[in-house]
Amino acid sequence: MQADVSTLMATNLLASLTMAGVMVVVGWGMRREGLQLWAGALAVHAAGYLLLALRGQIDESLSILAGNALLSLALSLLLAAVLRFYETSARWVVLLAPPVLLFAALAMQLDNYGARVAISGAMYAAQAAAIVMALFLRRGETVGRGARLVMVGMGIEVCIMALRAAGGAMNTRASEQLLQAGAIQTATFLGTFVMLLVTSLGFIFMTKERADEANRLLAAFDALTGVANRRSIIAALDRDVGRAIRTRTPLALMMIDLDHFKRVNDNHGHLAGDAVLRSLVEVLGQRIRSQDIVGRYGGEEFLIVLPETTLLGARRLAAELCKAVAAHTFVYEGRQIALTVSIGVFGGLLEPGDSWDVLIHAADSALYDAKHAGRNRVEETPILPRASRDGTHPETFPASLS
């Protein structure tokens, strides 16, 4: 298939401008994501294509040198946009080197079409490969499919430009000119068209995935301490209650509350209180198993859900946590703050119909007992208060074989 080169170039020019417009709209107000840089790169790409498409109508050297240098600059700006996305600053010298070098190399080969194709193809392939590499090296930080799309799009560009460079180097069609139809020309411009769409949509997707991830974290985790927030710890408890009933395995729950925490705020300030809450979470996190979940239930109250744990096991762990917190010295701006926690524990086997709120109520009443018994201690609720199944009168059942 050999398509009309001028039409293909006009299509690519239009595609660049359209995607640039889309990026400006999508990236409005998102300055740190690199979308503006990407839009700028596409606009420069369109300008480069315009100069190339005007071959024969404007000064030939302007079309060749400035046109190719702008295409190279566009790839540099795309790399800068990717780096900006990852909050890495691009070295402008490195980014400007390819277009300047390309300009100089092409200037020396103005009369040799084959050499020019080889040089420009090799440069574009190397620049596109640098973008793939930048994304590949940061694949661990990338949340999803957007970066893969950009890599695929740029991979297409690498292949096509390497092919073009090889064709030019072999110089088999030395008499061919830019606007002359040919298989390599068709492949170049169609491939570039696909690259423009796939990479630009991929980059937009990258920013969307990042925003989605930030929203997911905000919705699921407590902003101050980083542990599960009230909503997600209750969801986790609800899920584990269902599993414990199905599998007939014990489940334990701890409600932890800092003692006299108000005094920390009153004596050292609210920021000191915040720092203490963050440190407390670290102290707790160091001692629980990976399947246990810590969540912030309210102000200075934390819940720990302990799947497959008996009351005895939970009580032992709670006593350890109590000791660990009492032994820990919380430090804020050089000031040492001593604190203790009270812990209410529930643990045991559940029965169909048991629900998360009943378990929280049980742990909470044990915590109440711990506070009233003098704080810095663990109390337990071995019995789960249950309404009778016909709803006529409340009764209690032993919940566990601890």
Ligand X SMILES: Nc1nc2c(ncn2[C@@H]2O[C@H](COP(=O)(O)OP(=O)(O)OP(=O)(O)O)[C@@H](O)[C@H]2O)c(=O)[nH]1
Binding site for ligand X (CB under 6 A): 224, 257-262, 265, 270, 273-274, 277, 299-300, 371, 375
Please state the closest distance from residue 261 (CB atom) to ligand X, in A.
3
Q: How far is the CB of 277 from ligand X (least distance, A)?
A: 6
Least separation, in Å, of the C-beta of 268 and ligand X? 9
- 384 DSSP β-pair partners: 397
3-state helix, strand and coil shares in percent for the chain, rounded to the nearest 5: 65, 15, 25
- Cβ at position 375, least distance to ligand X in Å: 6
CB 193 within 8 A of CB 12: yes
Residues facing 305 on adjacent strands = 253, 293
The span from the CA of 65 to the CA of 365, in Å, is 79
* C-alpha span between 140 and 164 (Å, rounded): 33
Residue whose CB is nearest to ligand X in the complex, by number: 273
Cβ proximity to ligand X: between 240 and 257 the closer is 257
Q: Which is nearer to ligand X, 268 or 386 (CB)?
A: 268
Q: Between residues 51 and 255, which has the closer beta carbon with respect to ligand X?
A: 255
Question: Which CB, 123 or 281, lies closer to ligand X?
Answer: 281
C-alpha dihedral (62, 68, 73, 76), degrees to nearest 10: -170
Query: Least separation, in Å, of the C-beta of 344 and ligand X?
Result: 12
- Shortest Å distance, C-beta 339 to ligand X: 9
Segment holding 351, helix H or strand E: none
Buried b (16+ CB within 10 A) or exposed e, 71-100: bbbbbbbbbbbbbbbeeeebeeeebeebbe
Query: CB 197 → ligand X: shortest distance, Å?
Result: 47
233 and 296 in contact (C-beta within 8 Å)?
A: yes
**Who's near 107: CB < 8 A, 6+ residues apart?**
61, 65
Query: Torsions phi, psi of 177, nearest 5?
Result: -120, 165
Helix (H) or strand (E) run with residue 266 in it:
helix 261-268
For residues 155 and 269, which CB has a smaller minimum distance to ligand X in the complex?
269
Closest approach of Cβ 238 to ligand X, in Å? 24
**Which residue's CB is nearer to ligand X, number 108 or number 326?**
326
> Would you say 145 or 231 has its CB closer to ligand X?
231
Residue nearer to ligand X on the CB measure, 240 or 300 = 300
Taking only Cα atoms into account, the Rg of the chain, rounded to an integer number of angstroms, comes to 32
